Amino acid sequence: MSQETRPVITGDALMESLQARINTRLIGIDGLPVSGKSTLADRLIESFGAELIYFDDFVLPQEQWPDPIGPGFPFPYMRHEAFFEAVETLARSGACQYQLYDWGKGALGPWKEVPLGERPIVVEGVSALAERLAPFYDLKIWVDSDAATTLQASLERGVGDWEQQWRELFIPSVERYIQTKPADRADTIVAGRGA
């Protein structure tokens, strides 16, 4: 069923429906940048004690970016293979381990271990519903937002010295990912920023 034919629900409605879904262990949350994915993930932490795997923890240190670099999917500025493998390993074996990106140092930092237990695990980020990962989730959520204002909202949130990368690399790469129709793989569409 395509995104256009499904109802868009509120975050509150989603939280209510999850109360009845006791076997929801692995949840994927995807959407455009600044759509409200992290806000929704934070609510799941508060309400259900969820553990999170953030896609932003898989940044590739800038000195390792390909040269020249251009827009693409998988994103050339992310450790996409490590992200995919972490989610796949978690779903298949019940635990995963991956190296975090240290935003303060701009380098790879400590390792994190995530066990799949009683608490739900939320995988949050642009590409969480990539074709390769979608089959592993118990619940797939797309956070709908106003695509036309994504770049402006990103710049207003603050991008430091990376404005040029947002304009010429990050947003064009996200547009390539959107061509794979991730919203169509979602079970639920939740209203996000501007939706």
Average pLDDT over the chain reads 92
Residue 194 Cα distances to 21, 56, 66, 190, angstroms: 28, 22, 34, 12
Q: Which of 166, 173, 142 is nearest to 152 (CA)?
A: 166
Q: Is residue 147 part of a domain?
A: yes
Q: Is the pTM of this model over 0.85?
A: yes
| Per-residue confidence (pLDDT) for residue 4, from 0 to 100 | 56
Residue 77 Cα distances to 5, 49, 57, 68, 173, angstroms: 34, 31, 12, 12, 10
Provide mean pLDDT across the span 61-72: 97
Q: Is residue 1 part of a domain?
A: no
| Per-residue confidence (pLDDT) for residue 9, from 0 to 100 | 73
Residue 45 Cα distances to 61, 65, 76, angstroms: 28, 32, 30
Estimate to the nearest angstrom the gap between the alpha carbon of 130 and the chain centroid.
Answer: 10
| CA gyration radius, the chain | 16
Q: Is residue 41 part of a domain?
A: yes
Q: How many domains does the chain have?
A: 1
Q: Is residue 67 part of a domain?
A: yes
Q: Is residue 58 part of a domain?
A: yes
- What is the domain-level CATH number for residue 157? 3.40.50.300
Q: Is residue 2 part of a domain?
A: no
Q: Is residue 83 part of a domain?
A: yes
The predicted-structure confidence for 126-154, as pLDDT tens digits, reads as follows: 999 999 999 999 999 999 999 999 999 99
The domain of 40 spans 7-191
Q: How far apart are the first and last CA of the chain?
A: 19
Q: Is residue 158 part of a domain?
A: yes
**Which string of b and e fits 171-193 if b means at least 16 CB within 10 Å?**
bebbeebeeeebbebbbbbbbbb
The predicted-structure confidence for 78-120, as pLDDT tens digits, reads as follows: 999 999 999 999 999 999 999 999 999 999 999 999 998 888 9
Residue 55 has pLDDT above 60, yes or no: yes
